[in-house]
Amino acid sequence: MNHFSKAEQDDWLTVYLKYLLFVFNFFFWVGGAAVLAVGTWTLVEKSGYLSVLASSTFVTSAYILIFAGALVMMTGFLGFCAVLREQKSCLSTYFGLLLVIFLIELVAGVLAHLYYQKLSEELKQHLNQTLSENYGQPRAKEITYSVDQLQQDFRCCGSNSSADWEYSTYIQSPEAEGRKVPDSCCKTVVVLCGQRAHPSNIYKVEGGCITKLEHFLANHLLLMGAVGIGVACLQICGMVLTCCLYGRIQLQSY
């Protein structure tokens, strides 16, 4: 019966750890690409809605995810080099970057969770104010465009209902030209179509745009959190494997 010497067993264990860390790095790199994609998608997809939000927490969380995703992908390449070269300095740097990324994602997760808790109240307060005071104003063209895009994409009209537009500064002004609601409320948008606020002509949605936008943002926040948690779990595994491989190399150097 063949018996392996202690040195051979140590070499086998080191090789095993290297392969495990190599496989981990592949999934870690893929996870980084996913984090980067989700963060970018959050800002690009429906980005026009962001100007109607009162706080920048949602945007900040997305930028943190983008930064973390890019850092994860660069760290993944460093991890491949560290495994192949078996240098303690590379492994130490790799472990440090894993820890930094973990903390960044933790901050993003906390921000997303806190924002999720106050999302509904913020939308109720700010969207009503935006529609009544800022829409259609010369210095608020970006907000006007965002609200128009929001109403067309979500097929809704007004914050809670189309009746909210009755109190709008724009609708009450001569610039509205007799419109009861903005033209973006219409099912088929043509100039001055907002003069007729009949259900056959405009969107009449229960809960208004607030409900639709709240669901949209909540789904994005949940997706951001799920991807962040998944990559964070991978990082914990990576840090454990890195510590084990570092310890094996340290022992073999004596």
Unique residue bearing structure tokens 């219409």 = 186
pLDDT of residue 48: 65
Residue type, 161: S
Whether residues 68 and 97 share a domain: the answer is yes
> Region 91-119: what's the mean pLDDT?
76
For 32-89, the pLDDT digits (tens) are: 888 788 778 877 765 666 667 666 666 777 787 788 788 888 887 777 777 777 677 7
The answer to whether position 148 is within a domain reads yes
- The pLDDT, as a whole number, for residue 79 is 76
Is the residue at 211 inside a domain? no
| Domain co-membership, 144 together with 110 | no
Q: Is the distance from CB of 239 to CB of 46 less than 8 angstroms?
A: no
Residue 184's pLDDT is: 93
| Same domain flag for 128 and 145 | no
Q: Is there a single domain that holds both residue 130 and residue 144?
A: no
How far is 171 from 195, CA to CA, in rounded Å?
A: 10
- 3-state SS of the chain is CCCCCHHHHHHHHHHHHHHHHHHHHHHHHHHHHHHHHHHHHHHHCCHHHHHHCCCCHHHHHHHHHHHHHHHHHHHHHHHHHHHHHCCHHHHHHHHHHHHHHHHHHHHHHHHHHHHHHHHHHHHHHHHHHHHHHHCCCCCCHHHHHHHHHHHHHHCCCCCCCHHHHHHCCCCCCHHHCCCCCCHHHECCCCCCHHHCCCCCCECCCCCHHHHHHHHHHHHHHHHHHHHHHHHHHHHHHHHHHHHHHHHHHHHHCC
What is the average pLDDT across 154-180?
Answer: 90
pLDDT value of position 171: 92
Residue 212 domain flag: no
CB atoms closer than 10 angstroms to residue 2: 3
Q: Cβ contacts of residue 147 below 8 Å, gap of 6+?
A: 52, 130, 131, 135, 182, 184
- Per mean pLDDT, which of 23-27, 112-116, 132-136 is the most reliable? 132-136
**CA 91 to centroid of chain Cα atoms:** 30
Look up the pTM and report it: 0.67
Residue 101 covered by a domain: yes
Whether 215 maps to a domain, the answer reads no
Same domain, 8 and 100: yes
Q: What is the rounded CA–CA span in Å between residue 59 and residue 50?
A: 8
Number of domains in the chain: 2
Over range 97-117, report the average pLDDT: 75
Residue 14 lies in a domain: yes
Residue predicted with more confidence, 160 or 217? 160
99 and 144 co-located in one domain: no
Check whether residue 74 and residue 189 sit in a common domain.
no
Same domain flag for 97 and 68: yes
Same domain, 75 and 108: yes
176-233: per-residue pLDDT in tens? 999 999 999 999 999 999 999 888 999 987 778 888 888 887 777 777 777 777 777 7
Mean residue pLDDT of the chain comes to 78
228 with 130, same domain: the answer is yes
Query: Is residue 246 located within the same domain as residue 163?
Result: no
Q: Is the dihedral of CA 122, 145, 61, 221 positive or negative?
A: positive
Same domain, 101 and 160: no
The answer to the question of residue 116 being in a domain is: yes
Q: Which residue has the higher pLDDT, 34 or 115?
A: 34
Residue range of the domain that includes 200: 140-205
Note whether residue 72 is domain-resident: yes
- Mean pLDDT calculated for residue range 95-116: 76
